[in-house]
Structure 1
């Protein structure tokens, strides 16, 4: 892999979950993040987000790395695995606890689902356990509780490089969200924020399905004193029924052969205009052309579904 530079201005990353083989939607994300980094003379990191063991497919992480190599995508530095970083997440929770910004939650899913408040992700947690100060003194109870962060009525704004101006009121639209589940699994929202900061990620390029998570992550970055990366959310790839490609929708995996035609299709999906003749070239020529001609202004935006105020 490429040698790590100490003076990189741009540092991006691709962070797949090992829940199955990469599909075309994953390829689009990998391609977009890779080209945005390389066209800016930056570094491109790979992080395996293996936070939730029951959802993992044995061997999937290895297969992802093998496929990236076959596609000609060279990553910088060592691959990072979230399953090996629990101490970092515990330290972040301890920092938030010291500031009295988190609290243990003992509510069941059924109790949360009964909330009369509805936000963009479903029922908004009513803050029931905020007013149970006696419980948080019992260490045994804490081990069996979830951990939530206090959001209050804060509203956050950001300008996404593809989606434009976005705003979200976290307290109203999300509520106090979980940072560690009752079974001890750390939440994605916490882990990704800690890892991006620790890896000095400056630019996040990912799918628009994570767009409504971004304000929560910026909120945590602010609480923890981390820098906020620049965000770019790429359009989602959907099937004929309008469903996001995923393992649940039986998305076909990216093939380990005929990789040029798949890369060309992903490049066109992102609004780029590669010449047909690239299909008769090799991977090195493809990447030289793709990096040199990468145009973020040509990437189509995705539909925000009324979840945000867009100007």
Structure 2
């Protein structure tokens, strides 16, 4: 069965709809992040202080994964997590509030954008490279021991595939035949280091063979091919057949972080032409599934959802400084 025959027109529109929603959110965060950091860029200033890592260009990965998961499944993500959080159903209002450091956020404003945690949908992320892989194993082990068919998906960057946690996680997952899917987002750059300067193999997917599990590389940031690869990996995991490794050659449209001058990057001139959203929009239009009016409505709906979340975040209270130690230590009745 081909990808095209397996995907219905509705499925394909939903993939694009998710990609548009994610991009709309990232564009809104980009706008709000920079709104009060001028005339000179000050990373510590403004309504959203601190570092900001946005995922424009990597929407196909999130859309292709999210289409196969339920809210009962688990996902761990990287320091660049918004696209994956949205695709997995994390509450956008609470996520926006967390990014703005507000009391109504997922972590009551204490964690910020790199430390999103939503137990309602089993989602977490971390600013530490490869940190999300071991927790995904724990979730997969819990699902396995409970006798469910739930799965865990651990998403990491291509740089994380050179860490010990990556290899230890793949080894243990294979040994215990855990229901986990490892997804590597290869956006070509580990901050400012090209993957060719840091990784000895052209595809991290080949490393799966070392642990006796399937490995697949998806080229061209193609959302339908990602959907197909993840679908097979999730099917295997739910059936008790163990883990899989998928690497996606995706794209980082913007800098590693906001404020990144990207002087190291020689491919910038051609990057906008590789934007996956207009590429997939044209694909669906040529297939007779989408027209300009429907795409405009898709964008308007995404904008309304995102702007409501941003307004909620900006109108929410900041944490009380007197509560700085609250939620840090366990609070219980004293004997």
Scaled by the length of structure 1, the TM-score of the pair is 0.30
- Higher strand residue share: 1
Scaled by the length of structure 2, the TM-score of the pair is 0.28
- Higher helix residue share: 2
